Structure 1
């Protein structure tokens, strides 16, 4: 059975897609078979992995509506991960799904057909708390919350945590919240540390280690259609490699996730 991880935060600009791309590439480099799923109608994950959403004829939109097989929509990437891409059509799928019974389970049903083919499946949820994000959380075993280390970044975290709780109560009782992943982190500033301390105290939420540093390498990698792991070694790729190793030890051996105890 695949391990399914959702990456969710309704706030944009928190390095959610960067986390999916980088984690997927790091796990693939460890020899694991990885599928990443783009649930954002903007197609940022699809673009970041070197594919033009405007040129695709079949995508996750067709899969969610039962109009196409997931195997027919999958794309290869230079980072050795398989991609279930998104297009702008997905915005329309959200409205159509709302009219269907069992709408929260559409992605879960689709992934059942390929679960045995992958060690890890990572779902990039859109920056909203609509039916697409509910699909991602319902299909997942675990969820992490990327959190930008800036003052206003944690606004809305409480709302997301309430959504996770509701999903656990209604559609996915086995969903586990792994914690917040600090992103765009600058260890030289007390401001970044203060934000993490505030989130940890206010929401009683584990803060995953390592914090992902702020670096221009992420933007450069996204523009070139590959992950940050594809170029020279840098602090961003090193952080995601460490995080992927922590996650795999947790999944494969039951080890406790490494967290930041004091920030």
Structure 2
């Protein structure tokens, strides 16, 4: 059955659910509308000399789309000539389009990207942003996930506008999360075990006293949606002594880079959850995130997590001053990837809304993420699971995906 709609006509048939889902994902991967994919598939199917292999259409349910005027009649005649049902012909057409439009390869950076998630102030949620961003970067590229496409992160009033959500394929990158904080929050939140005191650790490798291969300490975050693409280098409480140990190391600002260099070839992105510190360990993290020779601006650098309150602004000024000193002393470029305003709740009144507007007004670096203070993140921490696996459709998960795309 059909009805006119401008220069196209609406057609209604049936498709198996699995085939419909594959079509939705693949069309999104190629950035085209489903109706365009079906149109191309039907045109290609009608041009074939014979029908294709029979497709199991059991359980097919209603499927509607819009086709150019006359295409459905041509398709109906071709199906009749080949002695196949319209449902079977449509299924073959869709499968033909899928077979000739394979999933695109993941675009991988020539130089492993290094993102340091930082702020001298504790309690702003650096760990949650590190984990959420990494999870979003590693999500299944052959499935659709809700993403907030923010045309404007905050209006002049500081109110977050209605969510504009689009279902997009996951980014499918290979990601390493590095817990660089002796408090081990990232390690614990993701359900891993902190490394034992007296054993091997990132601290030992940075201090030039390794007890084995660093890669042997890396663990996989075993959730199906990440497909073994998301890994964690757990923390050890010996990192409380890192600044003392680094004071005796030559070229100590490069200590983190020397330690992580053997792992870089295995990953597209490495995110470092930094401690709330302005000491030597933060110098090493900042140096690791610097722009390397041959690397485009904005590929690596600092992602600064703040809250919409005054103490975050004070801490931000201390952090930027440290970066400026490093730029001057070491002649390096440290790019800001943006500011993330975390744990935002406009119900807290003028302090929250005016502070948010203050961050938005900075412009350079700009605000690239606004994440609400909602229960799902706290629940995920309690059950020690990644947010995007525990509550994949929550507003916080949707915001993390938007953030990942802002910095990817």
TM-score under structure 1 length normalisation: 0.87
| Structure-2 residue corresponding to 1:15 | 125
After superposition, the CA RMSD in angstroms is 1.9
Deviations 1:96-131 (A, max 9, x none): 111222111111112221212111000111001111
1:89 is paired with a residue whose SS is: helix
| Structure-1 residue corresponding to 2:353 | 193
Structure 2 residue corresponding to 1:60, chosen from 199, 202, 206: 202
* 2:195/2:201 contact within 8 Å kept: no
Structure 1: distance between partners of 2:401 and 2:320: 27
2:277 is paired with a residue whose SS is: coil
| Structure-2 residue corresponding to 1:146 | 305
1:101 is paired with a residue whose SS is: coil
| Structure-2 residue corresponding to 1:31 | 172
Deviations 1:57-115 (A, max 9, x none): 43212221231422122111235421111111111232111122211111111222121
Bigger fraction of residues in strand = 2
1:53 is paired with a residue whose SS is: coil
Structure 1 residue corresponding to 2:375, chosen from 179, 204, 216: 216
Label 1:118 to 1:180 Cα distance change in 2 as closer, same or farther (>3 A).
same
| Structure-2 residue corresponding to 1:134 | 283
Structure 2: distance between partners of 1:127 and 1:59: 19
| Structure-2 residue corresponding to 1:73 | 217
Once the two structures are TM-superposed, the CA of residue 170 in structure 1 deviates from its matched residue by 3.0
Structure 2: distance between partners of 1:172 and 1:112: 21
* 2:202/2:259 contact within 8 Å kept: no
Query: Which of structures 1 and 2 has the larger relative contact order (alpha carbons within 8 angstroms, sep 6+)?
Result: 1
Once structures 1 and 2 are overlaid, which stretch shifts more, 132-141 or 70-79? 70-79
Q: Aligned runs of 1:174-185 on 2, under 5 Å?
A: 174-185=333-344
Once the two structures are TM-superposed, the CA of residue 150 in structure 1 deviates from its matched residue by 2.1
- Name stretches of at least 5 consecutive residues in structure 2 with no aligned partner: 1-110, 140-170, 290-299
Structure 2: distance between partners of 1:131 and 1:218: 31
Once the two structures are TM-superposed, the CA of residue 204 in structure 1 deviates from its matched residue by 5.7
- Name stretches of at least 5 consecutive residues in structure 1 with no aligned partner: 249-263
Q: How many residues align?
A: 247
Label 1:33 to 1:98 Cα distance change in 2 as closer, same or farther (>3 A).
same
| Structure-1 residue corresponding to 2:167 | none
Label 1:52 to 1:109 Cα distance change in 2 as closer, same or farther (>3 A).
same
Structure 1: distance between partners of 2:386 and 2:331: 31
Label 1:54 to 1:121 Cα distance change in 2 as closer, same or farther (>3 A).
closer
Label 1:50 to 1:58 Cα distance change in 2 as closer, same or farther (>3 A).
farther
